[in-house]
Structure formats: structure tokens, C-alpha cells
Amino acid sequence: MELVVTRAVIALLRGEAKRAYPNECCGILLGDDAGITNALPARNVHPSPRTHFEIDPQALVDAHRAARSAGPQVLGYYHSHPAGPPYPSSTDRAEAAHDGKVWAIVCEDAIGWWRDAPDGFTELPYPALRA
């Protein structure tokens, strides 16, 4: 299945990464069967936010509750690598849930798209853009 993301989500991810610099930003990718239609910025609660991220647990709980109440589904997560490439780091690989969710990793000039598969991250083609 082709990954489809709205232009507004792409702009939001880039803006969040720029706003959080030199720390990592993070948040939740939301949508439906048609693709990623929204992103929910979350507080990075990791004690070392320049090199790590941890999505505020309350933001995750709230997003999953909303999804169970006919809201947008949690399709994945995003975070930035302020000083690195848009690829999963060794920390990302070690701490991933391997739950099949999409990860977007934002760096200064690119966004990498990944599927957190049971056997590790799989790179996704750059998504089709939707208005």
C-alpha cells in the first residue's frame, strides 16, 4: 500500500523540527485508510532531549482514546534528528516496539519514512502528497 501524507503534515513536521532545534521534536501521526492526515505534536519528556525522544505518555493515551471513539487512528510517530540523518539510529532500533507503525524521522533537509516491522525498520518510499 502506498503511503499518502498531506502537505500540511509535511509542513508541520518540518516546522516542529525547526522549532525544537537543537532538541528533538516528537509526536504522533494520525489518519485513516487513505493515509496520514494529521500530526499531533507532543512534549519530548526524555531527560536528554538533544539526542533522544520520548513522547509524552499522556499524549499517547489521549490519541488512542480518541481513536477508539471514532477519531483519527494512530498510524505512527515522528521525531527529529537535529544533527543526524533521517534514518533510525541505534537507539531508535533498540527502543522500537516493532508494531508495524510508520515512523517519520525529520532532519534539516529531509524526512525519512519507515515501517517499524517485527523484524526491524523497513524504509518506505517517499509518500505521495495530498492537498
Whether the bond between 22 and the residue before it is cis, its omega within 30 degrees of 0, is yes
Strand order in the sheet with 120-123: 120-123, 111-117, 102-106, 73-80, 26-32, 35-42, 4-6, 128-130
Domains of the chain from N-terminus onward: 4-130 (3.40.140.10)
Task: Give 55: exposed, middle or buried? Use CB within 10 Å, 0-12, 13-18, 19+.
Answer: buried
Q: pLDDT grade, residue 34 (50/70/90)?
A: confident
pLDDT digits 0-9 by tens, 56-70: 999 999 999 999 999
Kindly list the catalytic residues: 24
Q: Quote the CA–CA distance of 52 and 126 in Å, as a whole number.
A: 24
- The pLDDT assigned to 129 comes to 81
pLDDT digits 0-9 by tens, 83-125: 999 999 999 999 999 999 999 999 988 999 999 999 999 999 8
pTM for the predicted model, two decimal places: 0.95
- The pLDDT assigned to 130 comes to 80
Cell of 74: 494512530
Using DSSP's 3-state secondary structure scheme, residue 10 falls into helix
